Amino acid sequence: MLKKQKISNPVRNRRFLSGANWVKIYDLIIIGGGPAGITAGIYAARQSLNTLLITKEFGGQVARKAVAIENYPGFGQISGLELIQKFEKHLKEFRIKIKNDSVVKIKKVGQFFLVNTEGKNQFEAKAVIVTSGADPRPLEVPGEKEFIGRGVSYCSVCDGPLFKDKTVAVIGGGNAGFETALFLSNIAKKIYILEFNPSVRADKVLQERVKKTGKVEIITSAILKKIKGSQFADSIVYEEGNTGKEKTLLIDGVFVEIGLQPSASFVKDLVDFNERDEIVVDFETCQTKTPGLFAAGDVNVGHFKQIITACGEGAKAALAAYEYLSR
């Protein structure tokens, strides 16, 4: 068991006058409680930075993962939830302030960052690390919004059990789609995987496992057109890419697994985004174009989005923030 670190940083109790009130300034605010944010928190605490971590919830995507994680060193096979609980416990062994809230805006005023939250709080810091990760990308087809919670789902761990012995469609033939199908194969009677491209992109090992279930039918070159139903979704219509013909599948549920979109609109005035709305950072330091503002994990530009790469960036960003604050 680690001992709580004593904070000895001289800037920790510095305050400034805002209107009629004295406001406490943190050295560092971390936004997000996924692998990147938790790791940044551990590194910041070990540098004795007076740190506030603001997060909607702990876990991020890892907590929503359907099947076990097999590629995080030291754990062999571990469920996403268990891994993130270990991360969270590790973080809380250090002295770090945690606030459950959602950040809606960050501004820089002079040398300080003002961070506003949905809960109507305002916090101040000299440096900020954004680790707000990514959310599922929507399909944007008719019927999707109408049937959210009534057949359309973005989280198989959360909603899968509702589809016992039912027929479901998973939209997306990448790793996430195949993992979802694998998870659902223990619950549902029949699963379709619909892939837009002529071939699926999932790892071979996942393809093999899915095949072995005997419950999954893969339809490639399938362009989803709409989700239909009355009270609940009951069918999907897709276009066959090679013939242009429309086909209908009767289903009870639709799981959307077509990728993720970074959730960083609250910081848009202070950073540059690439064409996929990912934050552009300096590779060495994870610094954005605004001095003192760092970003780490899935919210950033980067092709390989994994727990270990998010943790690595979280560590880099916290150490770079420490250097920035020391200057």
Ligand X SMILES: Cc1cc2nc3c(=O)[nH]c(=O)nc-3n(C[C@H](O)[C@H](O)[C@H](O)COP(=O)(O)OP(=O)(O)OC[C@H]3O[C@@H](n4cnc5c(N)ncnc54)[C@H](O)[C@@H]3O)c2cc1C
Q: Interface with ligand X by CB under 6 A: which residues?
A: 31-37, 54-57, 59-62, 65, 69, 71, 102-103, 131-134, 176, 179, 263, 266, 297-298, 305-308, 310
Question: What percent of the chain is helix, strand and coil (3-state, nearest 5)?
Answer: 25, 35, 40
Q: What is the closest distance, in whole angstroms, from the C-beta atom of residue 123 to ligand X in the complex? A: 12
Task: For ligand X, give the closer residue by CB, 186 or 248.
Answer: 186
Active site residue 234: no
Q: What is the closest distance, in whole angstroms, from the C-beta atom of residue 93 to ligand X in the complex? A: 19
Q: What is the closest distance, in whole angstroms, from the C-beta atom of residue 38 to ligand X in the complex? A: 7
Task: For ligand X, give the closer residue by CB, 286 or 325.
Answer: 286
How many Å apart are CA 299 and CA 36, to the nearest integer? 10
Task: For ligand X, give the closer residue by CB, 102 or 220.
Answer: 102
Query: Which position among 27, 101, 159, 269 bears the catalytic label?
Result: 159
The b/e string for 30-57 (b: 16+ C-beta within 10 A; e otherwise) is bbbbbbbbbbbbbbbbebbbbbbbbbbe
How many Å apart are CA 130 and CA 266, to the nearest integer? 10
- Angle between helices 307-326 and 35-46 in degrees, nearest 10: 40
Residue that has been written with the tokens 């305002």 in this structure: 122
Task: For ligand X, give the closer residue by CB, 208 or 246.
Answer: 208
The b/e string for 255-289 (b: 16+ C-beta within 10 A; e otherwise) is bbbbebebbbebbeebbeeeeeebbebeeeebbbe
Active site residue 286: no
* Rounded to 5°, angle at Cα 161 from 160 and 167: 65
How many Å apart are CA 249 and CA 17, to the nearest integer? 63
Task: For ligand X, give the closer residue by CB, 129 or 228.
Answer: 129
Task: For ligand X, give the closer residue by CB, 44 or 54.
Answer: 54
Q: Is 116 helix (H, G, I), strand (E, B) or coil?
A: strand
Other CB atoms within a 10 A radius of the CB of residue 119 amount to: 12
Q: What is the closest distance, in whole angstroms, from the C-beta atom of residue 287 to ligand X in the complex? A: 17
Q: What is the closest distance, in whole angstroms, from the C-beta atom of residue 272 to ligand X in the complex? A: 18
How many Å apart are CA 14 and CA 147, to the nearest integer? 50
Q: What is the closest distance, in whole angstroms, from the C-beta atom of residue 294 to ligand X in the complex? A: 13
Name the maximum alpha-carbon separation found in the chain: 70
Query: Which position among 158, 203, 269, 282 bears the catalytic label?
Result: 158
Tokens at 107, concatenated: 């501004």
Active-site positions read 155, 158-159
